[in-house]
């Protein structure tokens, strides 16, 4: 009979196990390929570029912490001279505050109506044709790129002093911002309802009225309320250029160094903005 060699298993404590472990541990680490190092180099380069751009912006903005520290005592003196707040002409200030709110409300409402008309051709899923979509996008970007303060300056020269110029300034700038957000909300809706409406042969008007608007209405109202909050704050400074509101009284108080009246105006603005923000936040919470 021939003896068959039995296979031997290398135990953890045996020399063979030690040798195999030594062989595995003696392998040199593999350097990462050059392609894997490229993202790190790119990130480091972008970080250096960002730091350089920020340093340039700081230089162009002439940031001077020393000047701020020197001005703090002067501001503290103004604050001390502002107390107690003045109540002279309080009724006129309240009327101007209501005028500021009216400018923001009417301007936002006009912009909302115009945005509903412009967001349909600006949305990709509703208007695939670039011939219609691109001009609509350009119009929205143009209005969004010009601040309401600049629009107010133009309309003061066109229609004269008063709140109407401020209302038009708010409306044109808000139209650009709100129209873009409306179009993005429509583009973000699921494609299923639109495809179902297309299969039924519904026209563009019926699709928008019965499918699109019911689906995105809560989001559109939320955007409109948010823009109203923003426009309340933006409308305050429109009075500086004669576009109505409480901003003109604010500028007059600063020019005359009437700090008690200035403090009263600031308090009215804070209360007005806080009240509108609280109301808008509650309404937006109910839409969720």
* pTM, two decimal places: 0.73
Query: What are the structure tokens assigned to 124, written together?
Result: 């990709």
Instruction: For each of the domains in the chain, give its residue range(s) and CATH number, in order of start.
Output: 90-287 (1.10.3720.10)
Give the C-alpha separation, 265 to 268, whole Å: 5
Q: Which of 15-24, 76-85, 180-189, 279-288 has the lowest mean pLDDT?
A: 15-24
Range with the largest mean pLDDT of 17-21, 61-65, 166-170, 241-245: 166-170
CA dist 272 and 233 (Å) reads 9
DSSP code for 160: -
Tell me how far apart the alpha carbons of residues 140 and 176 are, in angstroms, rounded to a whole number.
4
In angstroms, the CA 207 to CA 264 distance is: 52
pLDDT tens, position by position, 255-288? 888 888 889 989 998 998 888 888 878 887 776 6
């Amino acid at each position: 009979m021939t003896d068959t060699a039995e296979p031997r298993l290398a135990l953890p404590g045996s020399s063979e196990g030690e040798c195999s472990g030594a062989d595995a541990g003696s392998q040199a680490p593999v350097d990462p390929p050059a392609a894997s190092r490229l993202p790190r180099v790119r990130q480091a380069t972008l970080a250096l570029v960002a730091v350089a751009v920020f340093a340039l912006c700081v230089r162009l903005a002439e940031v001077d912490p020393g000047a701020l520290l020197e001005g703090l005592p002067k501001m503290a003196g103004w604050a001390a001279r502002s107390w107690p707040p003045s109540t002279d002409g309080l009724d006129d200030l309240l009327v101007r505050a209501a005028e500021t709110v009216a400018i923001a409300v009417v301007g936002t409402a006009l912009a909302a109506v115009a945005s509903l008309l412009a967001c349909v051709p600006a949305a990709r899923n509703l208007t695939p044709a670039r011939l219609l979509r691109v001009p609509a996008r350009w119009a929205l970007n143009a209005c969004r790129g010009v601040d309401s303060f600049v629009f107010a300056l133009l309309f003061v020269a066109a229609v004269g002093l008063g709140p109407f110029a401020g209302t038009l300034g708010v409306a044109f700038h808000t139209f650009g911002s709100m129209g873009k957000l409306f179009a993005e909300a429509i583009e973000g809706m699921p494609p299923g309802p639109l495809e179902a409406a297309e299969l039924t042969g519904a026209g563009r008007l019926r699709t928008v009225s019965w499918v699109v608007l019911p689906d995105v209405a809560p989001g559109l109202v939320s955007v409109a309320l948010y823009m109203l909050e923003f426009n309340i704050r933006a409308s305050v400074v429109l009075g500086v250029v004669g576009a109505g509101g409480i901003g003109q009284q604010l500028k007059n108080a600063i020019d005359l160094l009437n700090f008690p009246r200035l403090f009263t105006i600031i308090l009215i603005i804070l209360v007005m903005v806080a009240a509108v923000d609280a109301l808008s936040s509650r309404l937006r919470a109910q839409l969720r």
